[in-house]
Amino acid sequence: MLKELFVENFALVERARVPFGPGFNVLTGETGAGKSLVLDALGAAVGHRVSPEMVRRGASAARVEAAFEIDEGSTLARRLEALGFPPEDGLLVLTREIVAGGRGRSRINGRLVSTTELAQVGSLLVDIHTQHESQRLMQPAVQLELLDAFAGEQALALVREVGDAWEAMERLSAELEALRTGERQRLQELDLLRFQVEEIEAARLQPGEEAAWMEEHARLTHAARLQELLGLALDLLGGSGTGETNALSALAAAGRALEEAASLTPALGSLAQELAAQIESLSELSRAVRRYLEQCEPDPERLAEVEARLALLERLKRKYGPTVEAVLAYADEARARLASLEGASDRLAVVERELEQAQARYDEAARRLSSIRREAAHRLAEAIEAELRQLAMPRATFSVEIEPQPPGPSGTERVVFQFSANPGEPPRPLARIASGGELSRTMLACRAVLAEADPVPVLVFDEPDAGLGGRAAQAVAERLARIGRQRQVLVVTHLPQVASMADHHLAVRKHEDERTTRIEIEALAGDQRVAELARMLGGTDVTETARRHASELLRMAGEAKRAS
């Protein structure tokens, strides 16, 4: 609820701290005293448009501050948290500074915010009904929400089901569009990857094979020269058996000499053994040279095969990686990508099927919701018409028109509340009601019926009793008091019948002197309240008769509230 409104340098209000209580609050005062300025200040605090001209003359800026108590864990608290403005210790403070000739500032619990954010939060807290403002209740989207809430829990469950199905349809449609848009690219990439994998697999690559192929290519390319050089080396080593002087025969002669010398002196035995080992090593070297020489036969056909293989390896490396190992790694990656792309076609079928299922869920839930809405619309219109008859509009008609619209997150229809004050007069949407009094009473009738359905905690009415008296005025007072049992209500009124039914009474006084005009707001109780009601009954001269009448009004109001 609205706990307190602080106003400073706003229009004629120099400085005022206005307390509010739960239930039904009224503001009264002489005509022109400035009662509506309190509503204007509250409107400014919750983000309504306000002119810099509202800054009090002689001041550089005006400030309005509204403090709200929020029940922890309530739906309202959760909504505020979702917007990023959780209450602190159950309190939410909205502050607005209006600067004369400059840009103002807005804050929520001390945090600087934009006016748009302030208004977004303010719309969850206060709904102000004046003869000059666009009310929240006039918005078709809000009317649809209220109709659903009036229809009951089954309708609200279907609203959630419709919304969930719509969200699923939107998500799946976007995914399906992306899959279909990429289908051509997917097929092109699939063809390319298949070709690349097949090309690499056909080569039957082996890690490290390139070095072997290059060595063989060198041997075959230089076969004739290798034969010449290796043959000479073999002759010099003695491995060919044709040379008259070669290394092996010379070493063999040296070995025989050392063996004979060792027989004469044992100290030379180790030298003879070492030379024998060298001779064996050289013999093995000679045999290795002979084996390599035997492989050095010129073979043009084999050379062509080797060159073809090396050319293939080079081509693959240019396309897929700097080495044979890199080419093989690319093939592994391409196979994985192939599997992913081939699975995409399966995903396309899955998404199409899931979208059909979501569409079916949406259609069924929307159909059932439409049926419930149409039945509830008739009941709601009857209930509001009954309220209008009690508010001095016995011939007024009210209808809840349900109009088809393209499917959306809230269903397949929109709702428009329509009103006609007199027979023969065509019904018009609430926003087009010309008479301020008719509009206020129609809003009051709607609020009386929808008090439980609308979550906004603070409702403000500016003279909903304008032009009324007698039983009609009493009916307005009783409706306001009844709404006050479920919501906090703030009403500007001139009627003592209405003021007497309030739980809390505030009086607005205007004080004038030669230099300034200022407004003060005072909470009334006891004799002060009796005096104010007497003033409302009898004018400026408060007589004893008026006081007795005021006391009687308060007594009767108390009885009426207890009886209800």
Instruction: With beta carbons less than 8 A apart as the criterion, state whether 508 and 13 touch.
Output: no
Is the pLDDT at 61 greater than 90, yes or no?
A: yes
pLDDT band per the 50, 70, 90 thresholds, residue 362: very high
Average pLDDT score, the chain: 84
pLDDT tens-place string over residues 72-131: 888 889 989 989 999 998 999 999 999 988 788 999 999 999 999 999 999 899 988 765
Q: What is the pLDDT of residue 243?
A: 47
Answer whether residue 369 shows pLDDT above 90.
yes
**CB contact at 8 A, 369 and 408:** no
For residue 454 the two structure tokens come to 């609308």
Q: How far is residue 295 from each of residues 222, 236, 237, 292, measured CA to CA in Å?
A: 12, 20, 19, 5
Q: What's 298-311 look like in SS3?
A: CCHHHHHHHHHHHH
Q: Is it the case that residue 134 has pLDDT exceeding 50?
A: no
Task: For residue 67, report the phi and psi dihedrals to the nearest 5 degrees.
Answer: -105, 125
CB distance 564 to 478 below 8 Å? yes
pTM exceeds 0.95, yes or no: no
Query: What share of the chain in percent tops pLDDT 70?
Result: 92
Distances (CA, A) of 33 to 29, 38, 517, 520: 6, 11, 10, 9
Rounded to whole angstroms, what are the CA distances from 243 to 220, 228, 232, 276, 353?
27, 15, 10, 21, 89
Does pLDDT of 564 surpass 80?
no
More confident residue, 364 or 308: 364
The helix-helix angle for 140-151 and 153-181 (nearest 10°) equals 130
Half-sphere exposure of 193 (CA within 13 A, CB side): 19
- Band the pLDDT of 435: cuts 50, 70, 90: low
| pLDDT tens-digit map of 212-226 | 888 777 767 776 676
Half-sphere exposure of 80 (CA within 13 A, CB side): 31
| pLDDT, tens only, 191-203 | 899 999 999 999 8
pLDDT of residue 224: 67
pLDDT at 244 over 60: no
Would you say residue 268 has pLDDT above 70?
A: yes
